[in-house]
Structures are given as structure tokens and as C-alpha cells.
Structure 1
Amino acid sequence: MSTAPAGPTVISLGCRLNLSESESIRALLAEERDVIVVNSCAVTGEAVRQTRQAIRRARRAHPAARLLVTGCAAETEREALAAMPEVDGLVANSRKLDPRAWNAPAAALRPAPVRTRAFIAVQNGCDHACTFCIIPQGRGPGRSQTIDAVCNEVARHLGEGAQEIVLTGVDLTSWGSDLPGRPPLGTLVAALLERYPALPRLRMSSLDGIEIDPLLGEIIAGEPRVMPHLHLSLQHGHDLILKRMKRRHSRADAVELVGRLRDRRPDLAIGADLIAGFPTESAEHHAANLSIVRELGIVHGHVFPYSPRPGTPAARMPQVARDTVRARATELRGAVAEARQSWLATLVGRPLRVLVERDGTGHAENFARVAVPPGQAAGTIATITPSRIEDTLLV
């Protein structure tokens, strides 16, 4: 008896952009049967390992299904993944939303059903050359959706009941750099807010702080429909390591940005991507990483232990011992957890506007996770006053 799934199964790894694209792939293949798609990630060596693990796990669970792989690892690890006996075929990352690549009718590509929020990919690819990153090889050069194209997608999702729109991209703050006139991201955000006055909540995924244009800064600081939640592609807290990463900002730039925005919007919650154990990182450099967590009050932290990616400049630099990398990542996560618990304590007893999910929880405007009392319908925005903290959940 076949254990293949009755319909398409899409396994998504990695970033929010992948999550958005996976929803589109699922909709595109809605009429397919016995198909598994692994939408892979290649941002770190660990991500590639998890991709391989997901492929093997999916094949064990569904030995009769057709198993296809797309995503960044399908570009950067093409030969290795194609050689895996579990894999039936690869779809180029650049063609993953093209119905012809899946032998699907063109009309099949439609917005996936919205639950509570909609992730909209407004930008793809990257034109930068960070020394640790292989993503430009997997995603290609930067490409932007036009304002009209983004607005049309927003309108569809709002029509289906979405209460929150999340703008995503590989390098979101570079949106517009390839469009006529090179409009900055603030132009797109302002257009969405103007065209859709009934849009309840707008959120953005990871932003490169040095690319936040003046208009976008004003919107983040003063527009209540833009959520008070800023996630920065920070990567490190020491200037020398930032330079060796080939980042374009300094520690002082990040501190100035957050301070300036918090002066205008004190409830702004800060998230950040941080890399532990980058090549040549000393104890002093690591201490700067720990201290920037406290200085910026990073309460939504994504900590990545550095792993070398073949073909990147950082892989040729003097490496930090793996056990030291892991220990420093643990310390960084601990610093973020400490900052998060202190922040959550300030939210107890305060009324929060929470977008209700189907699992009995939801996210406040500042992205704190909140338990929702019984009887609240998923997809609605409820005012909830938490009375305590359980682990990292406000209850």
C-alpha cells in the first residue's frame, strides 16, 4: 500500500521569503497528487544539512511520492542534491514560481488561502557581497516587484480577510534599486498605506539599517499601522568583524538608528540577526556582540553559529574552533533570552492588541507572543491584558 500523500506537501526551510514562496507553490500544485516539494535553504552549512535531513525524512515517510527540490540549495548544491537517491528532480530557484517548471497550468498560480497574515515577496536576489554569504549564488541579482504589482497582491489578500501584511525579500531595503527612478522602500510602504487606508497592520521582515531611507524612517517612527517591530540585519557588534564581513554599517550606525527611532516611538521592539564565531573573532569581538544585545535591547534575536560556506571569502579566513563557535552562540542566545524576559515583564498588566492565530496564541503589535483566551476567532484582532509570563509566552 502506498504511503504517498493524497495532495501536494511543501516543506519550507529558511527565511520568510521561502515561506511566502512555499505558499504559492502549494497553490500552484493544488491539483497535483503524490508530490512532495522541499523548498530548501543554503544560508549556512547547517541549513544545507537540514535540507538533506528533510529530504531523507520525507522519502522515508512517503516512499511512493514524487519528491522535488527547489530553493537556494537547489542552486548552490545542485549536483550533490541531484545525486541523492531520494530526489526525483530539481526545479531551479529562479523558476520556482513559473507554472511551466512544474508542468502546471498557468492559471494554477494564485494567492494561497490566507490565514491571519499574508507574506508578500516584494524583492528577490541580492547585489551585495557579504563575505560569509552564498545567497546571491542561490537567488541571483536583486529584482523588485513594481508598486502596482505589490498593491494588486495586497488587495487580493485583504479581500480574503488578511489582517496583517508582511513585506519580505532577500534584501528588502534594496527594493526599488532596479526600477525606473530607483525609488526607495519608503516609497512602496507609503503607497500601500495611502491606497489601502483599511489595512490594519503592516510589518516588514529583516531590514538593512544603513539602507533605511528618510521616508521609511519617518513611517516606522510615526505610523501606527506599521507595527512597532524592527528586525535588523545586524550580524555583529564589533566594527572590525563587520568590516571583515563586508557589511556597510558600523556599530555606531546601528546604535544611532535605534536610538533615533526609539526617541520617536518608545515601544519599538528590536530584533536582529547575529552571527557567533565569525572567522578571526576574538574574545573581545565576542564581548562586543554580547554588549550590543544589551545596548540595543534585542528581544527578537536570530543567532547563527558561523559555518563556512565553500566559495565564500570568509571560508578562507582563519576559522574559530567549532566548540568555541557553539559556546559563543549559546552565550548570545542567553543574552537575547535575558533581554527578552526583562522586556516581557514590562508588558504584564498592559493591554495588547493581538492578532489571533488558530493555535490559541497570537502576536501583539510588538511581536510578543500572547496566549489568547477561549472564544476568540482566528484572524481577528483582540485586546488582551496578560497577567504573567510562562516561558516566553505572555498569558
Structure 2
Amino acid sequence: MSVPQIVSLGCRLNIAESETIRALLGQRDTVVVNSCAVTNAAVSETRAAIRRARRERPGAEIVVTGCAAQIDPAGFAAMPEVDRVIGNAEKLSSHAWEAFEPVLVGDIMQVRETAPHLASAFAEHARAFVEVQNGCDHRCTFCAIPYGRGNGRSVPAGAVIERIGALADAGYREVVLTGVDLTSYGPDLPGRPSLGQLVERILTHTKVERLRLSSLDSVEIDDRLFDLIAGERRVMPHVHLSFQAGDDMILKRMKRRHSRAQAVAVVARLKTARPDIAVGADLIAGFPTEDDAMFANTRALIDDCDVVHAHIFPYSPREGTPAARMPQVRPEVRKARAAELRAAAAERKAAWLASLVGTTQEILVERPGDRGHTPAFAEISFPLPVRAEPVEALPFLPGKKGSPSTSSGRTDVGCVSQILVTASDGARLSGIPA
């Protein structure tokens, strides 16, 4: 019996969409590469995944979809390994998977609606991902994603609540709200609801235990959403903020809508209201025209905003974007600055992880049953599979990969267990200097 394979690259929205694709495929002998186009490196990774899929499954149909395929369908259709290319809107339609056109990619800018996915299970994940928003109406000078995702559009609250309610009933303890520009949720819907209003309704009308938000634009966190992040126990104490830079001139040239002071202020407010909140951020190193002083401001933002979950990207010139036409920073400088940001972020994260030793955390257990994440998204691995009942005194091994030891205990992926975080004798703590 053929088993379809989904290779999901890039964002959490792609993860959510990949599960819908899985439901639509049935038992076809197909490998789907759900691509990313956020950087040139992501596009190269997509091409590598396609070639690897052909080597590993020479008789399978190879289909490419996602943002890279939407932006450059002809380029991917020309690859000898590729059988079909399907666009970002079409990939969620059963018609696309029943059709035979080698290239099925429409004008994403004409798409005006989006809907929750068909997926009722997430094959490789203990948490469920629910799309509530797609597309983006902003035009940051470095970003090609609007051309892969189209303009901003939102899922009506009723459909979101119905989907999350069904997932909670199916046993999912944690749900992640996803979108391309999540905090812009709602202006295209009747009554112009905000993301804060949507979160409030989800908490009121579903029994989901843990609600996590994907990337947020800090300037769009209104008072209602702020209060829910700061004070609602079921909203996880973890925000990932789309900062991109920490220098005002670079932010202006990126066409971002916040200042450095605003970024620092929103984090200070959040940390004051909810001290255990963990902050993540996207940061770009070596944006065009960035000099040493501008870079130093971005480097300092990691400490000023206590960033412990950092996504660092060396600037990647995307064809057709305004930033690609600006004076470029040399590639070796971009690479060196990205490495410096990663080192600074790793040092900050190590200190945060060390501060968790001696605390009791609720862990969502993930596959294969020897790992999980805290509410603030610290990754912890265990020497034995975790059981459904609370356990204590397991060693703290953040980020350490490995198979669980032989045990007669039952592994309950998706359960939430309380764990006392302790240091493990002789074990190297990944992310904490030895």
C-alpha cells in the first residue's frame, strides 16, 4: 500500500496546510514538497528536498507546492525530478489532487478568502496547528512572501472555534494559531474583529487547555490581546515577535512599522505583567546599508528584549524586492554578523534555561515520548518515556535528542505532565555551557 509523504519546509502555517494535503491525498504514491521562499537558502533547501525525494522514492509522483512554487512555478516545473507544481491556493482543494495538469498555479493576489483546514489529526505533531489568517497586506522591502501568499484574509471566528473545538474533543491539549501576518487578523471580516477578540472567543467557547500564538507583529498587539497574553493561564507565556532589526534607520528602510523604542517597550510591559513569559524574535543580519553601529543596535536588542528564542537570518536579496536594489552589505559580513547574533542569542538562552532548574513545569509530551516543551517553549528531553500521570525529579536535558531507554512504562504522546526540573549528574545540558 502506498503511503504519501509530505516534506513541510518553513513556517507553522505550512505545517497546518501539510496536514490538509495529507488528508486529500489518500493512499497515493506521492511525495509533496511544501516549499518555503523566505530566503534564497530556503529555496535552495526546497530544491535539495526535491532531489532527495526522487532518489529515495524513484517511482513516486513528486509534487511541489508552497511559496517557492507559487512564486516560480516555471523554475520548479523545469526540474527533471518534478512531476507537478501546484499553487498555494490550489493545494488545499481536492480538485488539484484529482487533476493532471503539470502546472496548476493561479493568481494568488485574486484570492479573497481562506478557511480552516480539513485536518483532524497531525501525523507528526503532538500539538495541532490551525490557520486563522493568510496573506499579508504589508510590503516590507526585503520580503517576497506576499507574492507567495497573496493579500491578507481571515478565517471567520465561528469556523475557527468549530475546528479548535473538534481538535480539543479529539484529545489535542495544545493548539497553535497560525497565519502569515497573524496580528492583522480580522479587518476583512464583518465587524472587523481583532485577534484579541478571536482569542477571547476561543477561550470562552472551547475547552482547549493550551493556546499558543505564532509570530506576532509587536505594533499590532492591542490592549485586548495584551491582556490575554499577560493574564490568561491558557494562553502560553511565549511570544515570538517579528522585530527584524534593532536600529531605527534600518527599520525605516525595511519599511517596518515600529521603532526600536516601541519594541523594547512592549517587551518591558509583557515582562512586567507576566514575568515568566519567554520572548522570541526574528532578526536579519546585514540588511542593505547596515553599518557597524546599526548592527550593534540589533545585537543589543537581544539583551534589551531578553530574546531567548531567536530566529537569525543573514539578509538574502530576493529578486523583485526593493531591498535587492539597495547598496548591499558584503556576503561575508552578513554571514559574520549572523554568527555573532546567534552566539549572543545562544548565551541569552543558556542563562534562561539554567534559571529553570529547580522549577516545576508542565510539559506537553511529544514524539517519541522522551521529549516535550514547557509553556514558555523550553525543550526538555527525558531519559525514560513519560507516563500520563505526573512524574517528578526527571533530569533537565533541554534540546538533547536520543531514543528513550527501555522501559515497561507507557508513553503518552500528547499528555501534559508536571516535571520537576533538575540538573542531571554527568549529563551535558544542551544550550547551557558545560
8 Å contact from structure 1 (residues 28, 110) kept in 2 = no
Question: Once the 2 structures are TM-superposed, how far is the Cα of residue 27 of structure 1 from its aligned partner?
Answer: 1.5
Paired position in structure 2 for 1:75: 70
8 Å contact from structure 1 (residues 99, 109) kept in 2 = no
Paired position in structure 1 for 2:265: 256
Paired position in structure 2 for 1:58: 53
Select which of 358, 374, 378 maps to 2:385: 374
- 1:208-227 equivalences under 5 Å are 208-227=217-236
- 1:234-383 equivalences under 5 Å are 234-359=243-368, 360-372=370-382, 373-376=384-387, 377-383=412-418
- 1:66-215 equivalences under 5 Å are 66-103=61-98, 109-113=118-122, 115-196=125-206, 198-215=207-224
The residue type equivalent to 2:274 in the other structure is R
8 Å contact from structure 1 (residues 59, 67) kept in 2 = yes
The residue type equivalent to 1:391 in the other structure is S
Select which of 11, 17, 39 maps to 1:15: 11
8 Å contact from structure 1 (residues 370, 386) kept in 2 = no
The residue type equivalent to 2:91 in the other structure is K
The residue type equivalent to 1:392 in the other structure is G
Residues 266-312 of structure 1, C-alpha deviation per residue, up to 9 Å, x if partnerless? 11100000001101111111111110001111000000111100000
Structure 1 length as normaliser, TM-score? 0.95
Paired position in structure 2 for 1:46: 41
Residues 175-209 of structure 1, C-alpha deviation per residue, up to 9 Å, x if partnerless? 1021112111001000000112x321000000000
Question: Taking CA–CA contacts closer than 8 Å with sequence separation of 6 or more, which of the two structures ends up with the larger relative contact order?
Answer: 1
8 Å contact from structure 1 (residues 26, 112) kept in 2 = no
Quickly say closer, same or farther: Cα 1:380–1:112, change in 2 above 3 A: closer
Residues 252-279 of structure 1, C-alpha deviation per residue, up to 9 Å, x if partnerless? 1111101111111011100000001101
Mapped partners of 1:221, 1:393: distance in 2: 28
Question: Percent identity over the alignment?
Answer: 55
Mapped partners of 1:213, 1:325: distance in 2: 34
The residue type equivalent to 2:161 in the other structure is C
Provide the secondary structure at the position in 2 that maps to 1:243: helix
Quickly say closer, same or farther: Cα 1:275–1:63, change in 2 above 3 A: same
Provide the secondary structure at the position in 2 that maps to 1:275: strand
Provide the secondary structure at the position in 1 that maps to 2:132: strand
**Equivalent residue pairs, number:** 385
Deviates more, 1:114-123 or 1:217-226: 114-123
Q: Does 1:384 align with 2:384?
A: no
RMSD between aligned residues: 1.6
Mapped partners of 1:42, 1:393: distance in 2: 32
8 Å contact from structure 1 (residues 113, 160) kept in 2 = no
